[in-house]
Chains A and B, each alone.
Chain A
Amino acid sequence: MRRVLVIATLLFACSGEEPKKAAPPATPPLDLLLKADPGEALSVLVAKEEGPGEEVVVVGRIKTIVKGFASFQLIDQALDYCGSGGDSMEDCPTPWDYCCIAGPVQNEHTLVVDADGEDGKVMKASGLAGLRLLDLVKVKGKLSRDEHDNVTLHATGWFLVERPNLREGLRWPE
């Protein structure tokens, strides 16, 4: 028995493969969930026009959630998602998205929301603490604009305003 253990130890010791360091488990950014409505909010389109400045509140729907990060795309609520048409959109297989609207129009009405960590980089996170696609949210934070004219809202908190009811039995994207 001892011989077997020794051989097994040697085999593992000589394999030359270092065990992969496990990344710290990402957790949903719970502390960003605001308990109270942050008040009057700008639309996404207006916020993009205003650009960097003092802290603002922006309202919009969650268009895309970035897997693995506390980051999502916020789209102007003036645009209708595919499932918002009620019965007329019953046949759309992806009612949670904006596939019926041209890509450039979507992008024009979209900004990125990041929750930054202490290092200034976007926080790693698993999910958005209960928020999901199409939720209407108010996000509080500061805007920035990069050299490619992309506007990012660095969030300090967000508030769930409304969750749309889509038809039963939908298989939401992962």
Chain B
Amino acid sequence: MIPIAYALRNLWRRRARTIATILGIGATTLLVVVMTAFSAGLDNASAKTARDDVVILLGTSAEVDLVRSVVTRGSAEAAAAAVPGVLSAGGVRAASVELHLATRSGDRIGLLRGVNPAAYLVHPQVSVIEGRDPRGPFELMVGRLAATRMGLPESDLAVGRTIRLENRDWKVSGRFAAPGTVMEAEMWTRLDDLMLATKREDVSCVAVRLEDPDAIDDVRLFAARRLDLEIAAVPEAELMRELERGLKPITALARWMALLVLAAGAFACANTMFAAVLARTRELATLRALGYSPFAVAISLVQEATLVAFLGGAFGVFAALAIGHISLRFPMGAFTLDLDVQRRALGLGAAVVSGLLGGIVPALRAVRMRLVDALGGKA
């Protein structure tokens, strides 16, 4: 076999081209890491929100669409009080009457949710990380990603600041976290305040947390039999699946883009290696004349390509580390791009694969040349 030092020396001999290839593959690796993290982030945002013990009671004509759902306040309160199998803690039933709204502040769109104290029982993923929950009139508690969702700087939604929404000034009383869920992009306020501000007499849904997830069928039966309430029971997981279905084209596009980027990396590697083979036709033929087998020469070339790709991949991974956590928004919320170890390993693996793929064809071409022609520089 040809020593690996030979491959390293060759790379250094053509350092300008090598560095350009490393930078190119670094960029493609970074893109692969970002694209896969983007698609995973979208998937997680809906999947992590769903709990198997939570059922949403929607208006009958809403199908499985929370935004279109309308339930009269009276029906919602009656359902919250009567629905069977509900978890109870400290005398509070985990049945949350909620109003979900998309609101505007100038040309920025935010997500508002009007809730009662029961909401914190139904959605235990929510925890206050700064300040407190809204208790006074027209107070807001904002999710960690609410500013991202609205395209505002974090400082605009800091605790104590005021934001104008629905023709009223709302004071930020606190911030909350709900890691990985769509709720993190929302702003929560008291239900009565939101209904007053928007002059709404109806609500969006009743979110119910059950003592036992198996009781979901009992809630379905309750909703079907109480025609007077005009509600339908939909498990939260089903609702989130619908949301996920809406995002599928975007996640699929991100995955396809990652694949295309991977192919571009392979082409970049192949291009570099073809140039190396053409420039070193006589040298490679000499190696064969000295007794190295065509296989050994081919392996050496593939080694070169893989080495360049690995260095490029490592560069891309470091660039991903430098980026850190970025928050992105999508129509129903926002999520944090998590460029975790798994994604970075995937990016590095993709870079190495692109090096292997890009090195094989030039290597085959190099060893298929007739030795006499190659030595005479005719190839």
A43: Cβ under 8 A from any B Cβ: no
> Chain B 324-352, CB within 8 Å of chain A: the 1/0 string?
00000000000000000000000000000
Tell yes or no: B221 within 8 A of A by CB. yes
Interface residues of A in 69-100 (CB under 8 A from B): 69, 71-73, 94, 99
Taken residue by residue from 104 to 140, chain A's Cβ proximity to chain B (1 for < 8 Å, 0 otherwise) reads as 1011001110100000001000000000000000000
Query: How distant is the Cα of A109 from the Cα of B63 in the complex, in angstroms?
Result: 18
Task: Pick the contact of B226: A94, A106, A148 (CB < 8 A).
Answer: A148
The smallest beta-carbon distance between A44 and chain B, in angstroms, is 11
B-side interface size class: 10 to 19
Q: With contacts defined as CB atoms under 8 Å apart, how many contacts are there between chain A and chain B in the complex?
A: 52
Cα separation A103 to B229 with both chains bound (whole Å): 11
> Which of A71, A99, A104, A106 interacts with B63 by CB under 8 Å?
A99
0/1 string, B197-227, CB within 8 A of A gives 1: 0000000000000000010010011001111
- With a 10 A CB-CB cut-off, give which of B63, B220, B226 has the most chain A CB atoms: B220
Main secondary structure of the interface of A (DSSP, over half): mixed
Q: How far is the CA of A69 from the CA of B220 in the complex (A)?
A: 9
B214: which A residues are within 8 A, CB to CB?
Answer: 23
Interface flag for A102 (CB, 8 Å): yes
Which residue of chain B lies nearest to A150 when distances are taken between CB atoms in the complex?
A: B227
Q: Which of A71, A110, A111, A149 has a CB less than 8 Å from the CB of B221?
A: A71
Q: Which chain A positions have C-beta within 8 A of B24?
A: none
- Distance of A67 Cα from B221 Cα, bound (Å): 8
Structural contact, A67 and B226, CB atoms closer than 8 A: no
Other A-B contacts than A64-B232, A103-B61, 16 sampled, CB-CB below 8 A, are A66-B220, A66-B221, A67-B217, A67-B220, A68-B217, A73-B227, A99-B61, A99-B63, A103-B59, A107-B60, A112-B224, A112-B227, A114-B225, A148-B226, A148-B229, A150-B225
